[in-house]
Structure 1
């Protein structure tokens, strides 16, 4: 129900922005100026149509169980995930775009079987191992796509480029904070600090640096986006 509501409001927002942008033209059109009910009916119809289309194009997300919840923060257990990954150098916002293009090329058929793979969410971004160990003088990021759950690791088509690699994650425990808004550094850092404070205050043992999970396409209104900061932790006692 929540995702459906987000979809309807998102589509309403997009259509409204487009219509407002065209308002000067429409003021000269007798159909719109003399029949406001027609405008509202058309807007409602467009929202419903685009919402239904969005439902049919819904994407799979990784399954997890919630162990504990405290406000926007959850302790989760992911049973299994297969990640297609690529490493990109550069600033974080540029790296995720460049990395996604490499992964999109793979899932849209640039692989040895020419097989298209269904889109999933989220797109995951984390500092590379070199960046985490401070051995890389430039910013380096790993961008990941979660393979559909129907695939086994040896069943995925082989990439046509060595830039795409695979890793399988099993029995992973995390602390996750979900939030909306932009993907700007200020918003990310504020929420990261909140999650790190929670982890410290609750005596949780971490296993790596925080990473980001972005669930929505870039045209989604910021207040409807689902973003997450995630920290891998040891199994809670």
Structure 2
């Protein structure tokens, strides 16, 4: 029996809606799995020293004291952290996932992922980030991209990178003022806006912001593709002088 044109269109439309619903369900399911997996990753250890209200509007700023940790870092000749991130991510991910020489061993070692994504650059008018990496940029075009290395390693036992552009470094203990929010990796304007809020609160509280002019840290705790934007956690931070805060 042949279907008329209207019936055929209705049948095709039902197939399309069913397929779209199935894809959406799979997408949400994969996103939740990715979100849960990221939430249990090892993170740098820190203590919240204070929680301070914003100067205007709702929300708060966390003042944190971080313990030392290691990073795998590479330098990319690019002032935009979004563009530099794709290059730096590949280098650092290669190190974490096996492009390394373990101390006292011959076989490469696959190391565990950690969180958050760390990006550090000059906010100024604009600044961007990618995930899951840490990047540190300046206006001359050099951007540092890095992954956090798990706490079971130190400078003596961490595997040596095969890629000579990747270096294992120690991040000393430090203090940050941090703002948390959900959504996709923040735009340049969003980062600059959040940094401005942090600086205003620090000035109000008499806390000195350290680092170069407009230096800003951007942290991403979840991947920017699979995890739904509503569940993604981002942070914008500035380095501060922690003397007198304890």
TM-score class normalised by the smaller sequence: 0.7 to 0.9
* Higher mean C-alpha deviation, range 99-108 or range 46-55: 46-55
TM-score, length basis structure 2 = 0.70
Alpha-carbon distance change, 79 to 25 in structure 1, aligned in 2, over 3 angstroms: farther
- Equivalent residues of 1:72, 1:179 under 8 A apart: no
Cα drift, residue 48 of structure 1: 6.7
CA distance in 2, matches of 1:80, 1:26: 57
Higher helix share: 1
| Alignment partner, residue 142 of structure 1 | 144
- Pick from 63, 70, 79 the counterpart of residue 75 of structure 1: 63
| Alignment partner, residue 59 of structure 1 | 41
Higher strand share: 2
- Equivalent residues of 1:81, 1:146 under 8 A apart: yes
Cα drift, residue 78 of structure 1: 0.8
Give the gaps of 5 or more residues in structure 2.
1-10, 53-58, 103-107, 123-135
- Equivalent residues of 2:137, 2:144 under 8 A apart: no
- Pick from 196, 201, 205 the counterpart of residue 198 of structure 1: 201
Counterpart check, 1:119 vs 2:113:
yes
Paired residue total:
201
CA distance in 2, matches of 1:211, 1:217: 17
The alignment yields a C-alpha RMSD, in angstroms, of 3.1
| Alignment partner, residue 167 of structure 1 | 169
- Pick from 65, 89, 92 the counterpart of residue 100 of structure 1: 89
Cα drift, residue 224 of structure 1: 2.2
Give the gaps of 5 or more residues in structure 1.
1-23, 34-38
Cα drift, residue 223 of structure 1: 2.8
- Equivalent residues of 2:81, 2:137 under 8 A apart: no
Matches within 5 A, 1:151-190: 151-182=153-184, 183-190=186-193
Alpha-carbon distance change, 221 to 167 in structure 1, aligned in 2, over 3 angstroms: same
| Alignment partner, residue 207 of structure 1 | 210
Alpha-carbon distance change, 28 to 51 in structure 1, aligned in 2, over 3 angstroms: closer
| Alignment partner, residue 125 of structure 2 | none
Alpha-carbon distance change, 49 to 153 in structure 1, aligned in 2, over 3 angstroms: same
- Report the secondary structure of 1:154's partner residue: coil
